[in-house]
Copies of this chain bind each other. A is one copy, B any other.
Amino acid sequence: MPLNCTAFFVSDRTGITAEMLGHSILTQFDDITFAEITVPFVDTEDKAWETVARINRTALSDATRPLVFSTLVNEQVSAIVQQAEALYLDCFQVFIAPIEAELGFKSSHTVGRSHSVRNNDYYNRMDAVNFALAADDGQSVKDLEAADIILVGVSRSGKTPTCLYLSLQYGIRAANYPLIPEDFDAMRLPGSLNGHRSKLFGLTIRPERLHRIRNERRPGSRYASMQNCEHEVRAAEALMRQESVPVLDTTTRSIEELATVILHEANLQRHIY
């Protein structure tokens, strides 16, 4: 019999850390269907009591006690939420004690350090996002000079979202440049990319997936046809191999994975943490 359970991610800030960790852990439980609820900005005792009431209402209606993944730092707030009818899992405290013991230093128990605005982070990020927008789809050739990395690949192979993620998450200046049928006829990289060979990183995609994606935008077009997608992907892969451009298949990878692989394989320096 499938089991249902509610998981709360409770935080005094955005809840993103609790949500990410908790969600990863819950995916390890195949047999259980989880309802996942994020409760951010629980930063006063009043809000803590509201959260307790909400968890307790769920406890009454569910067949199992809820799980609470907490990244609450304030001890008063955390002590209140722990009174809820739930399994309380403290994502910070469980690690803080062994680290304190190891290093012989006490932690500061300060709320909301991790995502606070640090000035350089802010500017680096804005800068990188503006750069990615300006340098999208080969729009601005002179930006290739300033890029940390240049993604190449056929239209709709995932270049734009990967560039945006690299810029938002890591502050990387990511440009992208499409490979088009003319390039395949000549079996040569676009001339604008000369002199930037060391920055190139290729994306590829399975033809069936590309066909499906293109067909949503331009149903029934030659551009979206299975035959054309097969041709373009095969030619692009051959061209990138010929030119020794490293290639990553986007078909089975999430944006986070693509960005992480590129960051590490291209040995890029992240500008924000």
Contact = CB atoms under 8 A, between A and B. Distances in A.
Interface of A: 3, 5, 13-17, 20-21, 23-25, 27-32, 36, 40-41, 64-65, 67, 69, 71, 73, 87, 89, 91-92, 94-96, 98-99, 102-103, 105, 107-110, 113-117, 121-123, 125-126, 129-130, 133, 136, 160-161, 164-165, 168, 213, 216, 251-257, 260-261, 264, 273
B20 A96 contact: no
Contacts of A122: 254
A75 to B, nearest CB: 12
A91 B21 contact: yes
A28 B110 contact: yes
Contacts of A40: 260-261, 264
A44 B3 CA distance: 33
Contacts of A24: 17, 71, 92, 113-114
Given A99-B25, A99-B87, A105 B3 contact: yes
